[in-house]
């Protein structure tokens, strides 16, 4: 478990001081994948450096399994830092070392015997599916394979927390999906707490249990993925699942946007809605899927004849939130680059 408590980072002093992180609070439970998203300049990179204590926070705490790492001496911190494995955006592999030799680096640093190191490296490369690539050099590996070597190296010292700092950035969709599957498997098998820092909203939907939006050094919204997706007023939820089908629909009487908000929306809700309204209901576009075992999504409907009051009531009874296309969601103040089109 890792807990970030009132974490603040300030560069400079006096009138020229720049507050990069401003009192962040969040917790990543054991076995949880927690994503942090935000635009460029939001403070994501600084957050990563403060979490693994490559940068000392100005104030606040980084607590791992009950111990406040940010208050330790340099000697004790070197030991405590082993609890956090880091996967970097750039794989950070040494070009003149094989995959196996790169994974062995942290073990060599600690003075692990060559025999023990070989056993551990073989175990790790097998765990990430690269046993057959142990003797390959980085230039002989694909981007996804290099990142898998980086993951194996991050696990070498058996950390309880894994920090992924833009680890899928620049990878093709297939490699990204492969890394996401691996991280989820590692979370389940090793009971890791994973902090996943990224700007890729689609990847967040695939990998995370919970997410927070970082903007100008502050967390502006956070929550469990399913809860955010089911909240029609959540800007973060809308950015996770953009309502593109609503954007292309022509606003006007009879065109409605509905989203899943209930936990038990019936599979035949379109038929039930049409029956309750005694109206023609057609689907103009939809995105409905299962996330973390829960059904979430939205659809754009054409309803004829259209009675707003009856539509709102009938949708609510089915666990849906409805609004006419062309009407704005609740004001959020969110920056446009991560706001969805709706």
Which pLDDT does position 290 carry in this prediction?
85
Q: Helix/strand/coil (H, E, C) string of 246-275? A: HHHCCCCCCEEEEEECCCCCCCCHHHHHHH
Low pLDDT (below 50) residues in the chain: 245-248, 331-342
Q: What is the pTM of this model?
A: 0.82
For residue 230, CA distances in Å to 122, 204, 247, 258, 261 come to: 44, 16, 19, 11, 4
Task: Encode pLDDT of 188-244 as tens digits.
Answer: 999 999 999 998 888 998 899 999 999 999 999 999 999 999 998 899 998 887 655
Which pLDDT does position 224 carry in this prediction?
95
Distance from C-alpha of 196 to C-alpha of 48, rounded to nearest angstrom = 9
């Amino acid at each position: 478990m890792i807990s970030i408590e009132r974490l603040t980072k300030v560069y400079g002093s006096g009138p020229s001081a720049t507050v990069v992180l401003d009192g962040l609070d969040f917790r990543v439970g054991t076995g949880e994948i927690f994503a942090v998203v935000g635009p460029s300049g939001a403070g994501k990179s600084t957050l990563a450096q403060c979490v693994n204590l490559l940068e000392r926070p100005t104030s606040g705490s980084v607590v791992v399994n009950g111990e406040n790492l940010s208050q330790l001496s340099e000697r004790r911190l070197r030991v405590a830092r082993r609890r956090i494995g880091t996967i970097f955006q750039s794989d950070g592999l040494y070009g003149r070392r094989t995959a196996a030799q790169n994974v062995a680096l942290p073990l060599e640093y600690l003075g692990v015997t060559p025999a023990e190191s070989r056993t551990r490296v073989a175990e790790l490369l097998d765990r990430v599916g690269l046993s057959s690539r142990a003797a390959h050099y980085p230039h002989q590996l694909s981007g996804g394979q290099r990142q898998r070597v980086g993951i194996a190296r991050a696990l070498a010292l058996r950390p309880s927390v894994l920090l992924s700092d833009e680890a899928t950035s620049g990878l093709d969709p297939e490699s990204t999906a492969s890394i996401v599957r691996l991280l989820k498997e590692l979370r389940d098998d090793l009971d890791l707490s994973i902090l996943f820092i990224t700007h890729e909203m689609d990847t967040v939907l695939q990998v995370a249990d919970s997410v927070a939006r970082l903007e100008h050094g502050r967390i502006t919204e956070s929550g469990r993925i399913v809860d955010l997706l089911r909240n029609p007023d959540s800007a973060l939820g809308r950015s996770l699942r953009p309502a593109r089908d609503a954007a292309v629909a022509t606003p006007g009487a009879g065109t409605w946007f509905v989203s899943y908000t209930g936990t038990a929306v019936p599979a035949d809700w379109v038929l039930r809605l049409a029956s309750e309204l005694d109206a023609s209901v057609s689907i103009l576009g939809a995105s409905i899927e299962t996330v973390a075992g829960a059904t979430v999504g939205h659809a754009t409907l054409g309803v004829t004849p259209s009675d707003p009051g009856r539509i709102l009531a009938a949708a609510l009874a089915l666990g849906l939130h409805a609004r006419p296309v062309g009407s704005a969601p609740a004001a959020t103040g969110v920056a446009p680059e991560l706001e969805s089109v709706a």
